[in-house]
Amino acid sequence: MIKVTVTGRMTSLGRREIEIPCPRCNLHTWVSFAQILRRDFAICRGCHANIFLDDYMGAVRNAVRRIDRAFNALLRSFS
Is residue 2, in this structure, part of any structural domain at all?
Answer: no
Is residue 60, in this structure, part of any structural domain at all?
Answer: yes
CA distance 43 to 75: 38
Is residue 28, in this structure, part of any structural domain at all?
Answer: yes
Is residue 25, in this structure, part of any structural domain at all?
Answer: yes
DSSP 8-state secondary structure symbol assigned to residue 47: T
Is residue 4, in this structure, part of any structural domain at all?
Answer: no
At residue 15, the pLDDT reads 83
At residue 7, the pLDDT reads 53
Domain housing 24: 13-78
Is residue 53, in this structure, part of any structural domain at all?
Answer: yes
Is residue 55, in this structure, part of any structural domain at all?
Answer: yes
- Paired strand residues for 52: 41
| pTM of full prediction above 0.75 | no
| pLDDT tens digits, 46-56 | 999 999 999 88
- Chain-wide mean pLDDT for the chain? 85
pLDDT bin (cut points 50, 70, 90) of residue 3 is: low
Is residue 32, in this structure, part of any structural domain at all?
Answer: yes
The number of domains in the chain is 1
Listed in sequence order, the residues at least 6 apart from 44 whose beta carbon sits closer than 8 Å to its beta carbon are 22, 24, 25, 27, 29, 50, 51
Q: What is the mean pLDDT of residues 55-66?
A: 89
